Amino acid sequence: MTHPVPLAEVWRGPRPESVHLGHAVICDAGGDIVEAWGNPDEVVLPRSSAKMIQALPLVASGAADAAALTPEHLALACASHSGAAIHTDRVGRWIAGIGHGDDDFRCGAHMPWDKAAHDALLCSGGTPCQVHNNCSGKHAGFLTLNRHLGGGPDYVEPDHPVQRAVMEAFETVTDQASPYYGIDGCSAPNPATTLRAMARAMAWYAGAGEATAEERAARRLWQAMVAHPDLVAGEGRACTELMRACSEPVALKTGAEAFYIAILPRRGLGVALKIADGGTRGAECAIASILVRLGVLDPRHPAACKVRNAPIVNWRGIETGAIRPAAALA
């Protein structure tokens, strides 16, 4: 099948009102497809779901150890964080420790997603800095790798040594040449690949051992994500809540436009999914449903119920419908 298929539905009354179509793939450690929905060979931009790949050269090159980075730093390098104090304070200390400041970032500034941080900034009359950008941890990783490689200041340029190292890592772990790249919201190149290749890469992370520097780096990165789910996203966010809810270690990462990946180390499995319309609610419902299907998430857990079979309530508090997995994932 080459077309997207229903993965999540929004019900109101006795039938679906809206349907989120998409593609999803589960691969094993050998790169073979275990299960798929839609088109496994759909070419996609994984957006922020690729951050653990973009962080691979940071660790494999020795730059992370040279800068004495901890698992907290590595979790932030893979993060799309909410800009809460637990994120911005750590990223700020990180870049100061390598001799950089906010002006050295190339990610741009936006208001923090965390409500407390957002309100505090508004009430103080302040403006956001680049450290508030949800990608500032990734960019701190780029700056750290750049210092190690001795590159110029514009580390997001596609032909910069940092981005050449990222592209090489991306094509290695996906086992596929990237046909093109897009420029992400944080100004860094985001390589395209197929959904199958992205799931294969996540399965490679899941099965990474100690044989090579790259494998050891991959293992450290997913372990950092699992150890610090609050740094990977933030309180109230699906990535954080679902990682905490899983019955075994699972690394989860969302990406813009409704992308999601999962790394299941104990099972040697990798998951990649894309909702065609870019709707986050569809992606969250679908990834939770796949985790339930794989037996690592209790469907009754509050974190699962928040995004899967989640009630829709109107302004009077009356339940009017629900967001449900489509039949293929139910």
- Do 167 and 191 meet the contact criterion of CB atoms below 8 Å apart? yes
Give 5-325's CATH code, choosing from 3.30.70, 3.40.710, 3.30.300, 3.40.50: 3.40.710
Nearest to 133 by CA among 117, 157, 116, 113: 113
- Do 304 and 298 meet the contact criterion of CB atoms below 8 Å apart? yes
Predicted TM-score (pTM) of the model is 0.97
pLDDT range class, residue 1, cuts 50, 70, 90: low
Instruction: Encode pLDDT of 183-198 as tens digits.
Output: 999 999 999 999 999 9
- Do 291 and 250 meet the contact criterion of CB atoms below 8 Å apart? yes
Q: Cβ neighbours of residue 109 under 8 Å, at least 6 residues apart?
A: 127, 128, 129, 130, 132, 133
Instruction: Encode pLDDT of 158-186 as tens digits.
Output: 999 999 999 999 999 999 999 999 999 99
End-to-end CA gap in the chain: 19
pLDDT at 14: 87
Residue 316 to residue 141: CA distance in whole angstroms: 46
- Do 307 and 281 meet the contact criterion of CB atoms below 8 Å apart? yes
> Any idea where the domains of the chain sit in the sequence?
5-325
pLDDT range class, residue 13, cuts 50, 70, 90: confident
48, 94, 180 from 183: Cα distances, Å: 12, 25, 10
Nearest to 328 by CA among 265, 273, 260: 273
